[in-house]
Amino acid sequence: MMPATPQWWRVDPLEPFQLGPRLIPGRIWTASGCFAYGLTGHEMTAPGFASPFAGLGAVVTKTVTPAARAGNPMPRLVETPCGALNSIGLENVGLDAFIRDVMPELEKRGVPFVASIAATCPEQFGEMARALQETGGGLRHWHGLELNLSCPNVAEGGHDFGKDPHTVAACVRAAREQVTDRALLAKLTPNVGDIAALAVAASGAGVDAVSAVNTFVGLEVDLATGEPILPRRFGGYSGPAILPLALAKVDEIVRKAGVPVVGVGGIATAEDALKFFALGAVAVQVGTAQMRDPFSAATIARRLHEIYLGNKRG
């Protein structure tokens, strides 16, 4: 069992850190799709917390596509003994509404955020990045752009879209040309044999960090019918069960690619987050745990801060 206060932890997760051209407010983020757009929950409180946003370095928004999407048919979420299988289908308000309604409200509320976007070709990523930059370039709390290259829930695009290093590089390059003063991240699929090759391609095209990993492709069967529970058969598997798998992918990237990594996958406790930091991650994202308890990321940030203070005094 990991010590409650590991002596090697000498980083304050609440302190800003440099990621590419941007000073990010902290190292504990929420993962895309797991805290909506960052506009809800501000009125919620818990013992010791004024809101679920306390101590967060960034909220990665729900992924936005060029046009609004209704998402996949119900059911969209299946809980399993060790995680969750989702097939949301990128339900979102679309780029125009995101720029018009969501970004100004996030700025007004002072929410540090990274905008997540998805498209079906490199040119679309460039067009979306340009639109965001033209309208949001003056926003103080917009810190970065995460390219969702790996969502397994959409037929066009989908997980096959992000498996090719050349395509990954083309998408990053298209966005980088349009956004130069925000941190640019590429969210990578774990459903490949060599994830480091994707990270190397993204790094060569100008990305500041990669987010690793997105969900694993999974399937659950309804024994009453003998059919898959999700209408699209497959979905994205997340939660505690993928923690060791995500750690292995992050370790591979850190050792082979030489690009900063934001770790994500199965994080539910401060100890889980520390494992990613031990492997060299510069920040982490809390996903499924945040959907179950909106104070998960805030709790992790506070606990790591306490460990840091204890080691500093020692």
Active site residues: 151
Q: Prior bond to 152 cis, omega within 30?
A: no
**Is the separation of the CB atoms in 241 and 262 below 8 Å?**
no
Q: Are strands 234-238 and 216-219 parallel, antiparallel or unpaired?
A: antiparallel
Angle in degrees, CA 31, 110, 115, rounded to 5: 35
**Is the separation of the CB atoms in 300 and 267 below 8 Å?**
yes
Task: Pull the structure tokens for residue 104.
Answer: 């100004």
Helix axes 243-256, 270-279, angle to 10 degrees: 20
Task: Pull the structure tokens for residue 76.
Answer: 């969209």
Cβ neighbours of residue 240 closer than 8 Å, sequence gap 6 or more: 82, 83, 266, 268, 288
> Which of 311, 298, 246 has the alpha carbon at shortest distance from 276?
246
CA distance 169 to 162: 10
Task: Pull the structure tokens for residue 86.
Answer: 């989702």
